A and B are shown apart, each in its own frame.
Chain A
Amino acid sequence: MDHVLTARTLFGTTMAFHIIFATLGVGIPLMILLAELLYQKTKDNDYALMANRWTKALAILLGVAIPSGTIAGVQLSLLWPGFMEVVGKVMALPFQIEIYAFFVEALFLSIYVYAADRISPTMRIISLTLVAIGAAASAILITNVHAFEGTPTGFRIENGQIVDVNPWEAFFNPSFAVTATHVVLSAYMTGAFTIASIAAYHMLKNRHHERIQLFHKKALMLGLTVGGVFSLLTAINGHESAQLLHEYQPEKLAAAEGLFETQSHAPLVIGGFTDRETQTVKWGIEIPWLLSFLAGNRFDTVVVGLNDFPEEWWPPLFVHTLFNAMVGIGMFLLLLSIVGFVWHRIRKQHIFPNWFMWTVVTAGPLALLGIEFGWIFACTGRQPWVIYRMMTTAEAVTQSTNLGTLFLLFTSIYVFLLIAVVLVLRSYFRRHPIEQHLSTHM
């Protein structure tokens, strides 16, 4: 494997691992906060119990999210020193501000977890709100660096020197708002569906235990409602993201859609595999005119195709599949929430059928998978650039060799931690079954 690819594989694996925990670290605090608020409003002890149990799980997840985030942050400098040199000179602000967000999250999470019994309910809500804000802000700021890689502003490179630096202009680069919103909304969606998945699973497992059913039903409804709202918002925002690509990174959109020829009334191709030789998408379903409409809200919008760019600037063509997988999962989850809503509110059925419950069980893992596909698409679709049209990934990579060994080491640690975290979560919740709390709270 060539050096750049090995470095990308190593960093990509770190990110793929970290994203699981980071996403839940952003999504779950919102759910805990909502449960706390519902408890303060309804005084229904079940919600307090939810907040309590989810906090335990969150503390365990953050035990992995924090060190893996540390790895990601440091590995950036170790693997991509050329990139970080530019970032240090131009785009240092989001990293720096993220530190403050990180501090807010760490301080108040410790306070909420270890001092919950000593602080007032108001202070608990405030602490939790600060944890949620800190987590979301971290995600927003790190996404800002990613946005900058796609739409760099605030500097020029002249004879290899970085000149005309305006750090705030770089900070507020054109894709910042839309991209960061996309990440936060999809993280909230994922957190909510993960909760819904777990609740649905327990309802299926404890069919004859009415009290347990009731508890999980509340969690399920909360998860489905929040998940539904955020999947809708994610979809609307995803549409804006695509329009942004059309404007700023046309070859990325072209690769995502498998479009080779520049054209107006461009079709949208769903599914299939892009074929470089024949310049077509094989086995895809073509919907005429739709891509032009999605890109510019008009059917006569001209969408630029890959052939307008030199071939060495093309991203890998498999990003079409990743893009489809991400959008497909998002649509499916949106549909799932709508079905649930119709069933519950409009048909007024209070018991969901089994097939629906089992589908909900898959929602959390699917949402996480969607996040992974989205990230791989976003970063692979930018290749060969690390900073769009400014610096290639090959220019940024470390000069040190022997990355293969490191890759093996880090991957085995990730696999090990993944297994450990599942075992620890299971072991904790086995020892603290919900029955025991429900009976004491009744």
Chain B
Amino acid sequence: MTDELIAISILWGFIFIYAVMATMDFGAGFWSMVYINRPQTKATKIANRYLSPTWEVTNVFIVAIVVALVSFFPGATFMLGTILLIPGSIILLLLTVRSAFLVFSHVAPKYEKVLVYISGISGLLIPAFLISVLPITHGSFVETMNGVSRLRLDRLFTSPHEYAFIAFAITSTLFLSSLLLADYSNEANEMEAYTIYRRDALIIGPFALLSSILIMVTMRNEARWLYDGMIARWPWLAASVMLFLLAGGALFLPSWKKKNGRGMPRLAVVAIVLQYFCASYAYGKAHLPYMIYPNVTIESGFTHPNTFRALFVTYIVGFAILFPGFIYFWRLFMKDRRYLANDEK
């Protein structure tokens, strides 16, 4: 494996982790808004209990992605920084408002509803803007004149391809988060909340799959090089669909632990995360070597080899030190029944 491939794999790994954590985070904010007027079901409470300790950690990942991009591919940073000024700024503003309001809503109950609504709605808008970075890298929306690159926002927002991605981002956010919250409420023994989130997942799942098919259909016209690359990796796409069906099935199977219970949400969550893994692997592999088609490749944008080596060492040391911290965090908030079942707050 070349240095460039190692670097892009680390970057892709961060993006994948962030995508999963962020969809859950944004989705949970949305669900806590939807069910705020039905306190008896505890659906909002469950969403908040997941959200409160995790958003800061999730937020670190977005910075980690930007830093990995800048440090591994400074050449790509120049172009991405230039063309993403507007969409990037919109994302930043939305993220700021959302995080601040999320924190405020817990300490100022007087304004709780307004704050929850704002963080809930921005929670859907942010994924829509974030995912737009992908079609932008497909190249047809970037125009270079006299050595200055700029993003043609008019072309971007009249493209069906872009809207397919937006639909995919929103449905995936709702799908993944409802599935995770179903598992989380199951773990916390909140069966009413579980029923609600399981139902939501079942409704939204097919739409998420549909929008991913829509992405492929529009890609055929708008980014043929990428489409051909992905179709050439059809086994990954097939595996992804199989995992989706497996997850759907898992929600109908009788529960292992509980009598009369329905569904194995943990299995469904794992299957769906693997599904996204397979699909994004096929996408990412077909995207190589281009970071921004056709101007920037992973070779042309790559950092200085000495810097890469130094960074690589810090990655190993850094994550070796952090790993126990993540485990401890996981055990305190995802596993500890005292936290999950806590009715106060």
Q: Are A70 and B77 in contact (CB under 8 A)?
A: no
**B32-76 residues at the A interface, CB under 8 angstroms:** 52-54, 56-57, 59-60, 62-64, 66-75
Q: Are A427 and B107 in contact (CB under 8 A)?
A: yes
Query: Which one, A59, A81, A95, A409, contacts B81 given CB within 8 A?
Result: A81
Q: Are A103 and B78 in contact (CB under 8 A)?
A: no
CA distance A337 to B332 in the complex (A): 42
Kindly supply a per-residue 1/0 record for chain B positions 311-345, scoring 1 wherever the CB is within 8 Å of any chain A CB and 0 otherwise. 10011001101100110110011001011000000
CA distance A341 to B311 in the complex (A): 47
* Chain A contacts for B339, CB-based, 8 A: 114-115, 118
B148 is an interface residue with CB less than 8 A from chain A: yes
CA distance A77 to B321 in the complex (A): 28
Which of B186-194, B287-295, B300-308 lies on the face that meets chain A?
B300-308
Which of B83-91, B199-207, B231-239 lies on the face that meets chain A?
B83-91
* Chain A contacts for B79, CB-based, 8 A: 81
A66 is an interface residue with CB less than 8 A from chain B: yes
- Chain B, interface SS category: helix
* Chain A contacts for B328, CB-based, 8 A: 107, 111
CA distance A68 to B149 in the complex (A): 27
Instruction: State the Cβ distance, B6 to closest chain A Cβ, in Å.
Output: 15
Query: Which one, A89, A99, A110, contacts B304 given CB within 8 A?
Result: A89
A60 is an interface residue with CB less than 8 A from chain B: yes
**A48-106 residues at the B interface, CB under 8 angstroms:** 56, 59-60, 62-64, 66-71, 73-75, 77-82, 84-90, 92-93, 95-100, 102-104, 106
Kindly supply a per-residue 1/0 record for chain B positions 94-116, scoring 1 wherever the CB is within 8 Å of any chain A CB and 0 otherwise. 01111110111001101000000
Closest to B344 in A: A117
CA distance A96 to B96 in the complex (A): 22
Instruction: State the Cβ distance, B71 to closest chain A Cβ, in Å.
Output: 3
B1 is an interface residue with CB less than 8 A from chain A: no
* Chain A contacts for B303, CB-based, 8 A: 88-89, 92
Q: If A100-B322, A107-B325 touch, does A88 touch B95 (CB 8 Å cutoff)?
A: no
Q: Are B57 and A115 in contact (CB under 8 A)?
A: no
Q: Are A165 and B306 in contact (CB under 8 A)?
A: yes
Q: Are A68 and B96 in contact (CB under 8 A)?
A: yes
A297 is an interface residue with CB less than 8 A from chain B: no
Q: Are B311 and A96 in contact (CB under 8 A)?
A: yes
Query: Which one, A64, A88, A109, contacts B73 given CB within 8 A?
Result: A88
Kindly supply a per-residue 1/0 record for chain A positions 396-422, scoring 1 wherever the CB is within 8 Å of any chain B CB and 0 otherwise. 001110100010011001000100110
* Chain A contacts for B84, CB-based, 8 A: 78
Q: Are A167 and B64 in contact (CB under 8 A)?
A: no
Instruction: State the Cβ distance, B64 to closest chain A Cβ, in Å.
Output: 5
CA distance A85 to B303 in the complex (A): 9
Q: Are A399 and B66 in contact (CB under 8 A)?
A: no
* Chain A contacts for B71, CB-based, 8 A: 88, 92, 95-96
B9 is an interface residue with CB less than 8 A from chain A: no
Q: If A167-B306, A398-B85, A424-B107 touch, does A77 touch B80 (CB 8 Å cutoff)?
A: yes
CA distance A304 to B310 in the complex (A): 38
Interface footprint category on B: 35 or more
CA distance A376 to B260 in the complex (A): 66
Q: Are A78 and B89 in contact (CB under 8 A)?
A: yes
* Chain B contacts for A69, CB-based, 8 A: 63
Q: Are B81 and A427 in contact (CB under 8 A)?
A: no
Q: Are B149 and A399 in contact (CB under 8 A)?
A: yes
- Chain A, interface SS category: helix
Q: If A102-B63, A118-B339, A427-B107 touch, does A97 touch B85 (CB 8 Å cutoff)?
A: no
Closest to B95 in A: A67
Q: Are B311 and A93 in contact (CB under 8 A)?
A: yes
Interface footprint category on A: 35 or more
Query: Which one, B60, B88, B307, B321, contacts A78 given CB within 8 A?
Result: B88
Q: Are B74 and A103 in contact (CB under 8 A)?
A: no
Q: Are A99 and B67 in contact (CB under 8 A)?
A: yes
Closest to A171 in B: B310
Q: Are B70 and A92 in contact (CB under 8 A)?
A: yes
CA distance A66 to B102 in the complex (A): 12
* Chain A contacts for B5, CB-based, 8 A: none
A352 is an interface residue with CB less than 8 A from chain B: no
B242 is an interface residue with CB less than 8 A from chain A: no
Instruction: State the Cβ distance, A134 to closest chain B Cβ, in Å.
Output: 10
Q: Are A70 and B92 in contact (CB under 8 A)?
A: yes
- Determine which residue in B56, B64, B339 has the highest number of CB atoms from chain A within 10 A of its CB, and name it: B56
Closest to B102 in A: A63
A358 is an interface residue with CB less than 8 A from chain B: no
Q: Are A409 and B77 in contact (CB under 8 A)?
A: no
* Chain B contacts for A115, CB-based, 8 A: 53, 332-333, 336, 339
Query: Which one, B82, B103, B326, contacts A81 given CB within 8 A?
Result: B82
Q: If A75-B92, A162-B304, A168-B310 touch, does A107 touch B63 (CB 8 Å cutoff)?
A: no
For this complex, 27 residue pairs linking A to B, each with C-beta atoms less than 8 Å apart, are A63-B99, A66-B59, A73-B67, A77-B69, A78-B85, A80-B81, A88-B74, A89-B307, A92-B67, A92-B311, A95-B67, A96-B314, A96-B315, A99-B67, A100-B318, A100-B321, A103-B60, A104-B325, A110-B53, A115-B333, A165-B306, A400-B86, A402-B86, A417-B100, A427-B107, A427-B108, A427-B110
Chain A residues packing against B (C-beta within 8 Å): 56, 59-60, 62-64, 66-71, 73-75, 77-82, 84-90, 92-93, 95-100, 102-104, 106-111, 113-115, 118-119, 162, 165-168, 398-400, 402, 406, 409-410, 413, 417, 420-421, 423-424, 427-428
Apart from A106-B60, A168-B310, what 10 extra A-B contacts exist at CB < 8 Å?
Answer: A62-B56, A63-B100, A85-B74, A88-B307, A89-B303, A104-B325, A107-B326, A399-B150, A400-B83, A427-B110
Which 7 A/B pairs are nearest by Cβ-Cβ distance? A88-B74, A63-B103, A92-B71, A81-B81, A67-B96, A100-B318, A110-B53
